[in-house]
Every structure is written in structure tokens, then in C-alpha cells.
Chain A
Amino acid sequence: MSAPTIPPPSAKEPGLWTAVRELPSNVWSSIFRHPLPSSDLERAQTSFTNFFLHLHPVKVHRNTLRPVYTLGLGLISLFLFLILVTTGVLLMFYYVPSTNQAYDRMLDLRGTVAFGIFLRNMHRWAAHGMVAMVFLHMCRVFFTGAYKKPREFNWILGVVLLLLTLFMSFTGYLLPWDQLAFWAITVGTSIAGYAPLVGSQIKFLLLGDTTVGQEALLRFYVLHVAVLPAILSLLVAIHFWRIRKDGGLSRPEPGTPPKSESTVVQLRIEPGKRVFGLQGFVRGPFTRIGNTPDDSVYSWPNLLMAELFVFVLTVSLILVISLAFNAPLEQPVNPMHPPNPAKAPWYFLGLQEMVSYSAFWGGIGVPTVFVLLLLAAPYIDRSPKGVGRWFARERLLANTIFLTLAILNVIFIIVGTFFRGPNWTFVSPF
């Protein structure tokens, strides 16, 4: 028996041994289509062939990367939200939304669950941080005039995201079922009851009962872990998508003409030559990729390194704070005896201070007017001047109004936090 003669294949087919030998690199290259980029073309390809990186534009304007312009506040908010989702899902494994068990589960987190107290600390401090950072992010956007045309709608999304963040934290602090939880929800839902016409119905729908109890705990739990995070994630996605569709972040005007052309794609669209790729479709307010020198740089690595820096900074700060400070847990719920004074977390103390003058005006009227003013701001202030600079002289009036309201809010928070004692009487902290 002679071996059958096989004609040699025209294209060389790899044998089994070759396939086994090259398996790791084949798997790797099937996931990541490009090696670490070494040329501009590869930097562009890295951005738009990776699911996570293609959120970014291929190139961003150099000035949007200035740390003192954005202060990274939006990114910090996002990373805090990611920390909150991660730690929140982990905490769900040990939590039961039952009035009999919830508080004991908090004690279990402290006493028996591995890293339980640490996870709860991270969740609590990241939540406080997110409220603060989202508020500061809004201030940054206002003081740099970044809400103006064509970014009006993204500003509206941002205001809604701020309200959702506050509602997330409101629903979150019922869950430990301690004294703060119970009385904060009692007060909070009573405020909702002051809304005209539908107030009492809203209160009943929120509580699922006439008083704060098991039904309210279950409802706030579902809102906190499912409904609100889903809405928040969707709106965050639209918020980011709109940044690109609205022409990138607002930015300072280039002070000096672009110096080097080394970062620019040398792509000449020649007549008669077919163009493939994104470049063929780029129009209007999009980041320009063309044959004219501009001041943009590749997202890989410039933007990504900036993001990585902010991420590491945010995570390490939360880790350090969570190691140093424990999240407060008050006495278990006693529906008979409110603590005196019964104080909400710091970011609601401004509201509580206003509520102590008038429930309707402090809890419904003034906040509604304030939110409506925020929503209307980009449609009232149509002047295109002063965009891309902190405290631009042309925006003196708008900035003054916003700063006054922001400072008033901070003053109310400080008064509510430090100057209010039993029966909400004025006390001196000194």
C-alpha cells in the first residue's frame, strides 16, 4: 500500500498542530482586532473597533482635555455611579426588604459578612459624593456657559439626572430601616402630599399604605435597585451620546493657532476616489477629521489616559474614606418616638430648613420654581457669548443669579446642619 498522493493545496492550509500552537494568539486577535496602536490610523481603529472605546470620538479637541476647564466632574460622577452599582449589587446579596429583617441585616453587614461594613461604607460615601459631584458638575457647566446652543437638551437631561440622583439617595436611605430612614420617609412623603390636586394620591402610591411600613419599604426598595438605576443608566447613555452629537464638549477657544500637524490625519479626499469609513460621513458639528490642520488629538491615548487618571483617583478616594469612616446607622425604627431633632442627610437639610418655614412653599413651591428656572435657562439665555470660559464677563448677570441661588442653598444647608437643635430651634454650634 502506497500512501495516497494528495495534490499540494494552492493556498497553504494550516495543520492541526499549527492551529493548536497559534491558539492563544488567534483567540486574542479575534477579540482585539488591533495590536497596541503605533500609528494614527491604528489609533483611530482602536477607538472604533472596541465596544467600550467606541463611545469616544476618534479625536477630541485638545482644549476639552484641559483639567482646569472641566475639573473632570462629570467623569467623577459617572465613576461614582459605577461604584454604586457594583457595591449595590453586592449588598443586595445580603439584604432583605422586610421591616423585621432589614435592620438586623445591617448589623450582619457590620458583624458577620466579610467586607460587609466596607461595602456599605463605599456605597454610602459614593452616594454622598455623587450628589455633591453632580451638583458641582452642574455649576461647572453653568459657569462656563456650556448649556447654550446646541447643548440645550443635554442640559435638560443633566437637570433630570440631578433630580434622579437625589431621588436615588432618598429611596436608598429608607432601606436600613433605622430611625433616620423612618422619619426621613415620613417627612419626605408628607412633603409630596402637599403637592396641589394629586398630592395625597402620590403619597398613597409612594407608601402603598396610609402609613410608612412594610409596603413603603418594598416599594422604595424596588425603585432603588431596579426602576431608578435603569432610568438613570438610559439617561446617562443619552447624555454621553449627545455630547458627541452636539459637537463635543464646550471648550475654550484656541488661543494660538495650531502648531504641529503631526497629530492630524493626512487624508485627502481626491475626486473620483471612493472613500470608505467614517470620514466620508462627517458633517456639521462633528469633530472634524479632514485635510485641514486642527487642534484635535487622538482619544487613544490622550482622552483615555485622562479618564483612567480620574477613575483611579475616584476609586482610591472612596476606598480611603471607606477605610477611615463608617457609614452611620441609627437606632432601629421606633414609630412612636421621632428623634429630636429629626434631621435628613446634609444634602436635604437645605430643603428641610425651608420646609420648617412653610411645608408647601419650602417643600413644593420653591423647589419647583428652582427646577423650572434650571430647565428654562438655556431657552431664556440665548446669547452665544461667553461659552467655553469660566465666569466670562459677558455672562456676568446669569452667573450672578446662579451663584446667588447656589450660595443660598449652601447657606440653608449649613443652617440646617449646624444651627438647628431640638424642636428645630436655633442653636449655636460654638
Chain B
Amino acid sequence: MATEVPSHDPISKPKDSMPRRSLLAWLSSVGLFGSAALAVISNLVFFKPRVTYSPSARFSIGKPDDFPAGTRIARDVERVCIVRDGNRMAAISTTCTHLGCIVAISDTGFACPCHGSHYDQDGTVTGGPAPKPLPWFKVTLAPNGEIEVDKNSQVDPGTYFTV
């Protein structure tokens, strides 16, 4: 009963078969986890909308004459406050820099109803948790003679447009 049994033990196999096997395993893992990563990334791309339906950030607010000197009027739809000081005009954001509530015009400037932030007439923080001043938006005169506000471009606070 001393017949030699051919061994199927992997240890006695030729040595070059193991690197090939581990290379294949490595390549398959890269393929598997790579596809999983691709799936995650493509889902993130899917969730980021390419078109949004909110109103345009650039809008006209009427002729300069509609705003007599000394006007401070809040336009809640566009969330800006239109300021006219003499012949100078500016647009200050009324979206609270704290958490996005609409600030109301108060005697001293602006006040937020949600968490009690206070701003002065120029939007500088005077109290409450707001971390930044209210941004000022670029104001221009369109060729048709109307004032145009562009919420996509901010200007330094105190920068007025002379009409």
C-alpha cells in the first residue's frame, strides 16, 4: 500500500502560480471596489441638480426716481434692502448671515427674529450670534434706465452707486 498519491496540496504547486493568483485577486478587488466607488460618485453627481428653478439672482427694481432720497425699503421677495442716500444707491442683503432668516428693518438698522442678531444701518453686526455683516450687492444702471441689482456679485460695504 505504498503507492504514491499525487498531491493536490497548494504548497507543492509550482511557485509562480501563487503570484498569478494573488494578482488576479488584487485586480478583481480593484475592479469591485472601484466600481463601488464609481457608483457612489455617480450617485452624488445625480443628486446635484444641474438646473435650479429659483428666481434669477439679477433683477431690476425700477427707475431711480422711484426711490426718493432717504429711502430704506425692504424687498422681501428678492431679500434685499434698497437704500437711497442723496443721489447714491445701494442694495443690502436682508438674509441673516447667521441661519438664513429674513431680517426686519428696525430703528437702529436690522434685527433678526429667529436668533436675535442685530445689525446697524450699514449691516455691521452690533449684537447676537451673526458671524458676518450683511453683504452689499452690486447696483448698476441698465440701458433702459432702470436700476439693476446683481446678487451674484458682492461689493464692499459702503460702496454706493451714484445715480
Contact = CB atoms under 8 A, between A and B. Distances in A.
Chain B residues touching A, majority SS: loop
A355 B101 contact: no
B114 A187 contact: yes
A331 to B, nearest CB: 14
B49 A209 contact: yes
Interface string B62-101: 0000000000000011000000000000000000001111
A49 interface: no
Contact of A424 (B52, B53, B116): B116
Interface string A208-220: 1111011100000
A187 B99 contact: yes
B114 A424 contact: yes
Interface in B102-141: 102, 111-116, 128-129, 131
Given A187-B99, A355-B129, A356-B129, A341 B113 contact: yes
A252 B13 CA distance: 57
Contacts of B112: 423
A214 B98 CA distance: 23
Nearest to A352: B115
Given A209-B52, A215-B49, A336-B77, A359 B99 contact: yes
A424 B115 contact: yes
Interface residues of A, number: 36
A358 B129 CA distance: 5
Interface in A184-233: 186-187, 189-191, 204-205, 208-211, 213-215
A49 B131 CA distance: 62
Nearest to B47: A205
Contacts of B53: 209, 213-215
Q: What bracket does the count of chain B residues touching chain A fall in? A: 20 to 34
B154 to A, nearest CB: 15
A359 B113 contact: no
A74 B100 CA distance: 37
A183 interface: yes
B54 A342 contact: no
Contact of B54 (A213, A336, A352, A355): A213
A340 interface: yes
Nearest to B113: A340
A337 B116 CA distance: 15
A338 B49 contact: no
A215 B53 CA distance: 8
A183 B52 CA distance: 20
Contacts of A205: 44, 47-48
Contacts of A338: 101-102, 113-114
Nearest to A213: B54
Contacts of A187: 99-101, 114
Contacts of B44: 205
Given A208-B49, A215-B53, A357 B129 contact: yes
Nearest to B99: A190
A277 interface: no
A211 B54 contact: yes
A424 B116 CA distance: 5
Interface string B34-65: 00000000001001110011100000000000
Contact of B102 (A337, A356, A359, A425): A337
Interface of A: 183, 186-187, 189-191, 204-205, 208-211, 213-215, 335-342, 352, 355-360, 362-363, 422-425
19 contacts: A186-B101, A190-B100, A191-B99, A204-B48, A205-B44, A205-B47, A205-B48, A209-B49, A336-B76, A336-B77, A336-B102, A338-B102, A355-B99, A355-B115, A355-B129, A356-B115, A359-B129, A424-B113, A424-B114
The 6 closest A-B pairs by CB, nearest first: A340-B113, A336-B76, A424-B116, A190-B99, A190-B100, A356-B115
